[in-house]
Structure 1
């Protein structure tokens, strides 16, 4: 494994030498010490270190934070060293997106842990961005224009750029179109059918829709498209999710086949009237056409059939149809069954089967069997097979593409969960090397927060739709893990969970899970000095919001404590998370402590 390189930026030479030796004792390489911000920027470009350890206050034109702003685009993690714990500097540090800061005089173990965590976090973020990039490339390089439209606000919240290739409109142009305008762009002959299908889908009569219609392109020409998707209802909104596929060429082919079918019907009529007309139509038909006697003997063979089999008519006439040696063994039983049904005077619908062409390659055909009467009695069977190989290949590609997308989404949640588990394990290892209870508690609380988020991704990985989780199951496991982590024994502190069986999306589940984690952890640590009491958690749906209640019968919070203006990290996190889910928190001090939080489920926002 390559030694990690750290660029040290420190204008105090003695301090710099001490820090350099400390870093080298950890096994890191310190290839250079920069004494100014300007030099740090130049050396960062030259060395491309794995991490930059920088003093906030530097001499020269570029101070530490100014230099960090210039280095930001290099995607190198930065840890600040400072002896000035000032709010304004910390806020500026957030702006430059540093990974951590260390207060001087620093603790070597704290420095080592901060460096390891920053490097690991940076690598994890790079991997996640790459995974997201690959997923987006799959969508945007598909032949289909995928979309999701929020029916409640009549807007697209996702539309693949492929829409420009399919219909000529840019993504921005098409997104700006209201549904009424989109309906106007559908061909007048197709509009009523499209409207009826969507009405049925919206009313719940059908779960999915699969429509073919003509749509006016930006250049004014109509193009045939296939619109396949479904109506998806979540807690607050209804969505159209689907994809649009260009079937213009296929429709042209179908139109040609339709005309061919019309020619065949005329040919069947002409067959009874004139052998000359029959032969002309029979030979010119682009489909593979064979005339068979009732005993299965081949009577005639058109040019298209000769071309595909590579055999001359003279070789085949007089042989049994089943002895053509162009059918895979698996399809012979199907053909025998269809002929048998035809002889029983049963209607035989068009069916799909396979044949081997002249090169031994399997091709898919759609076959029809028609009885031709002579003197009012069955005399012949007309076998017509249309080549549908390209259509079958296109269908298989669509199925494969959907399967690949599902595997990719599942893999992303699996990796995120595993990465968070690694962070939790690192925190656990660090706890084993700490002697101070305060430090251990801080690490344990951090571990609990990481676990609460990891469990969300674990549930999403196990979810069939990858968008939401069963929050009741999640809370059950979260509370159990907190009790286990703090060694709560059976018969001491007990939990009463009254959670509705509802699903929440990831946008809401993560902050709400963190809120529950903070509240329950705080109760376990401080509410029951005699290790005896009850924690009650209730989650229920209201007409337009949801309500979470967390109550304990412990010693209660001090009267002077204002939860909205407190310096404790736990309550600061809770207030921030409640605001994130557009919620409101209320505190009641009766027979213990009760927190009541009302909130709305958040809607998905696309990440850039």
Structure 2
């Protein structure tokens, strides 16, 4: 029962005496009571009731009482005003604090739910803030790291190095560092740290963002190993392909050598010419494989280099030393596949051989023009000699010779292009086909 009374008394004291809401009334009443007690005590102590001037004492007491009463009223008004002002200030402060907390809530949520560790350091590398991700990743509680130094979580730094790195982070734009960090259980993991400096309330700080890159490093290591294996496999395949091109070239040279043996034994001039043409055609195809074997690229060939070499070989095979021949070459920079180079090479071979056979003579200056232009979407091949031309130009479109049939077959069936023969101070052939190669 007594405990219940005591509890009830405490509630009354807290409600009426410790409540700041009525502090002006309570303080005024308390002041009035103390003042009255003091006045009565002083009056009895210093004034005699049996004295002749007792009437004057009463007047003085009444005056003091009125003075105290008005003083209490003034004090109450002042305290009540101050209480209202303080209440408004307190309310404004709480409203501002609540608004600030609401404004900062998304940022605090983002910081604590970030996957990256976020630290605030002082200039001497003391930890003054860390987010939940840092605690979870390192295995510490916040209070275990607050006030500690960088070297607690990063064993790569001592006291001086930690101070130096803080200075470097603050003075280095886009600072990034790969390091290692140590968990509470002693486990070491790789981390990537970025950071910058800032000033808060006149104090310099360093903010760092750290992420665990152990998994990324492991993936990079696997990718590197895979790339090494792929490169090794690619190198082996390149060697194999080069060997294939080398063997194809050698086999074609063997066939050409066999034809050369037959050429030396042949008596008939027409058979000799046919054998020589066959050797030249085989050499045209073998030359492509030679370029692929000797070149760095196993899929594509520089057309200009190939044509220059091809024309030189044709001249050496068909032109005597007494024949004066000038070759005018204008070839745009074009890179073609093996198949396309063989197609163009075979066309040029047949047209050049025809010009060497029918247009050029030993007693005159001979000219062979080979122009190949890149028309963005199409390729234009023009071959012209300065011979006498041909009277029946239409005969070239229905010729039964192997060379002409081969030219028409490649241009129309394989390149899906057009071919035109005209007399232009000699015979001129214009071929146009698409630059884009079809995939078969």
TM-score (norm 1): 0.41
CA distance in 2, matches of 1:290, 1:390: 22
Q: In the alignment, which residue of structure 2 is the partner of 1:420?
A: 245
Q: Deviations over 1:391-449 (max 9, x none)?
A: 56667878998998899889877755653332222232344455221485255224323
CA distance in 1, matches of 2:228, 2:128: 46
Per-residue deviation, 1:341: 5.0
Give the direction of change, closer, same or farther, for the CA distance of 1:524–1:531 in structure 2 (3 Å limit): farther
Per-residue deviation, 1:296: 1.8
Match of 1:479 among 298, 302, 311: 311
Per-residue deviation, 1:604: 3.9
Task: Please give the residue correspondences for 1:365-376 in structure 2 after superposition, counting only pairs within 5 Å.
Answer: 365-369=192-196, 371=198, 373=200, 376=201
Q: Deviations over 1:476-508 (max 9, x none)?
A: 233234335668659743311122344556675
Match of 2:397 among 564, 576, 583: 564
Q: In the alignment, which residue of structure 1 is the partner of 2:20?
A: none
Q: In the alignment, which residue of structure 1 is the partner of 2:107?
A: 265
Structure with greater contact order relative to length (CA < 8 Å, sep ≥ 6) = 2
Give the direction of change, closer, same or farther, for the CA distance of 1:461–1:525 in structure 2 (3 Å limit): farther
Is 1:494 aligned to 2:329, yes or no?
no
Q: In the alignment, which residue of structure 2 is the partner of 1:601?
A: 435
Per-residue deviation, 1:295: 0.9
Task: Tell me if structure 1 keeps the 8 A contact 2:125–2:166.
Answer: no
Q: Deviations over 1:183-229 (max 9, x none)?
A: xxxxxxxxxxxxxxxxxxxxxxxxxxxxxxxxxxxxxxxxxxxxxxx
CA distance in 2, matches of 1:267, 1:590: 83
CA distance in 2, matches of 1:541, 1:504: 12
Task: Tell me if structure 2 keeps the 8 A contact 1:540–1:548.
Answer: yes
Task: Please give the residue correspondences for 1:281-300 in structure 2 after superposition, counting only pairs within 5 Å.
Answer: 287-298=116-127
1:562 alignment partner, SS class: helix
CA distance in 1, matches of 2:157, 2:320: 67
Give 5+ residue unaligned stretches, structure 2. 1-103, 264-271
Task: Tell me if structure 2 keeps the 8 A contact 1:449–1:514.
Answer: yes
CA distance in 2, matches of 1:355, 1:541: 57
CA distance in 2, matches of 1:336, 1:516: 75
CA distance in 1, matches of 2:129, 2:320: 86
Give 5+ residue unaligned stretches, structure 1. 1-261, 269-280
Q: In the alignment, which residue of structure 1 is the partner of 2:421?
A: 587
Give the direction of change, closer, same or farther, for the CA distance of 1:491–1:567 in structure 2 (3 Å limit): closer
Q: How many residues align?
A: 322
Give the direction of change, closer, same or farther, for the CA distance of 1:574–1:452 in structure 2 (3 Å limit): farther
Task: Please give the residue correspondences for 1:329-478 in structure 2 after superposition, counting only pairs within 5 Å.
Answer: 339-341=166-168, 343-344=170-171, 348-349=173-174, 351=176, 353-355=178-180, 363-369=190-196, 371=198, 373=200, 376-378=201-203, 380-390=205-215, 416=241, 418-433=243-258, 434-437=260-263, 438=272, 441=276, 443-454=278-289, 457=292, 461-462=296-297, 470-478=302-310
CA distance in 2, matches of 1:520, 1:571: 12
Give the direction of change, closer, same or farther, for the CA distance of 1:488–1:561 in structure 2 (3 Å limit): farther
Give the direction of change, closer, same or farther, for the CA distance of 1:291–1:590 in structure 2 (3 Å limit): closer
Task: Please give the residue correspondences for 1:16-95 in structure 2 after superposition, counting only pairs within 5 Å.
Answer: none
Task: Tell me if structure 2 keeps the 8 A contact 1:493–1:531.
Answer: no
Structure in which a larger fraction of residues adopt helix: 2
CA distance in 1, matches of 2:220, 2:105: 28
Task: Please give the residue correspondences for 1:115-134 in structure 2 after superposition, counting only pairs within 5 Å.
Answer: none
Give the direction of change, closer, same or farther, for the CA distance of 1:423–1:393 in structure 2 (3 Å limit): same
Give the structure with higher Rg (CA): 2
Is 1:514 aligned to 2:346, yes or no?
yes
CA distance in 2, matches of 1:544, 1:380: 62
Give the direction of change, closer, same or farther, for the CA distance of 1:512–1:430 in structure 2 (3 Å limit): closer
Q: Deviations over 1:121-152 (max 9, x none)?
A: xxxxxxxxxxxxxxxxxxxxxxxxxxxxxxxx
TM-score (norm 2): 0.54
Per-residue deviation, 1:520: 2.5
